[in-house]
Amino acid sequence: MRPIRPRQDVRAHTVIGAGLLAGGANVIMQLALPAVGYGVVESRVDDGNIYRNPAKRTRTTLTYLAVAMLGTDDERKAFRRAVNRQHAQARSTATSPVRYHAMDPELQLWVAACLYRGVEDVRRVFVGEVDADTADRIYAQSAALGTTLQVRPNMWPSDRAEFERYWQRSLKHISIDDTVREYLYGVATLRMFPRPVRILFGRLNKFITTGFLPPPFREQMRLSWSDRHQRRFDRMMSVLAAVVLRLPKLLREFPYNALLWDLRRRLRTGKPLV
């Protein structure tokens, strides 16, 4: 039997399209750091505004995840150049409550840490626990979530234990005020989409988003959660996981595989990447 290469092994445990259900929770986690929150809320880059261009913003974010985890070095460099042009415009003004600049490696490290935490949460829900070697490989590959942009390799915590220490230190600095909370509540309830979508799926998305949020972030968002909610969430995810794991690989990895294909098409034809 041919041995599984580490990259294939990691992909099998992390590239799950149904993990998009955790996307809202991950956005909340990222923006819970005030400099990141206001960097997004005050952004003057309309192309990246989820309320003005929800489809484009979602495509850019998911393509970043796809290229960071699955792309080649050249593809990551190309995407970095495209994202940098937008990030260079995202900086605080004299009236901003906090100072920020989207090119700040420390802020990008926090965002990458949240993305990695999301990878782990999705893996636990849809795949379950893995052995320590596989978990270490997932963690090492996840460094690209930051190093694809300005995070230097030596900034990524050296191992999972060091990451946990970084995470616990960083939790002391999260704070969501009314301005950012209103923005994020809209994300959780799908306020960026047409009214029929909000009516049909807004409450469900809020429930799933709250279920994926760690307690400190739920508290900052003032979202209620009980043992009954947790049992309902666990049952829902268990059923969904049973379905997802039976899907063919092509469907299980959608839309990440489609977005990576689209990125490569854009590179070939010279179209904008973001």
Q: Residue 274 falls within a domain, yes or no?
A: no
Coil vs helix vs strand at 115: helix
pLDDT confidence tier of residue 274, bands split at 50, 70 and 90? confident
Residue 54 belongs to what H/E stretch? helix 54-70
Average pLDDT in the chain: 92
Contacts 24+ apart (CB under 8 A), 186-189: 186/51, 187/24, 187/27, 187/28, 187/50, 188/24, 188/28, 188/221, 188/223
Taking only the tens place, the pLDDT of each residue in 78-108 is: 999 999 988 888 899 999 999 999 999 999 9
Rounded Cα distance between 144 and 141, Å, is 6
Distances (CA, A) of 17 to 12, 44, 126, 172, 237: 12, 30, 10, 31, 14
Residues 6 or more apart whose CB falls under 8 angstroms from that of 28 comprise 176, 184, 187, 188, 209, 213, 217, 221
Closest CA to 107 of 149, 78, 46, 140: 149
For the chain, state the CA radius of gyration.
18
Rounded Cα distance between 113 and 118, Å, is 9
According to the model, what pLDDT value does residue 6 have?
46
Q: Residue 200 falls within a domain, yes or no?
A: yes
pLDDT confidence tier of residue 53, bands split at 50, 70 and 90? confident
Coil vs helix vs strand at 204: helix
According to the model, what pLDDT value does residue 89 have?
86
Rounded Cα distance between 245 and 140, Å, is 24
Q: Residue 1 falls within a domain, yes or no?
A: no
Count how many domains the chain has: 1
Taking only the tens place, the pLDDT of each residue in 167-212 is: 999 999 999 999 999 999 999 999 999 999 999 999 999 999 999 9
pTM of the model: 0.92
Mean pLDDT, rounded, for 69-78: 93
Q: Residue 139 falls within a domain, yes or no?
A: yes
Taking only the tens place, the pLDDT of each residue in 148-159 is: 999 999 999 999
Mean pLDDT, rounded, for 44-57: 82
pLDDT confidence tier of residue 7, bands split at 50, 70 and 90? low
Residues 6 or more apart whose CB falls under 8 angstroms from that of 49 comprise 43, 57
**Residue 22 burial by Cβ neighbours in a 10 Å radius (0-12, 13-18, 19+):** buried
- The domain containing residue 141 runs over which residues? 6-269
For the beta carbon of residue 255, count every other beta carbon within 10 angstroms. 16
pLDDT confidence tier of residue 2, bands split at 50, 70 and 90? very low
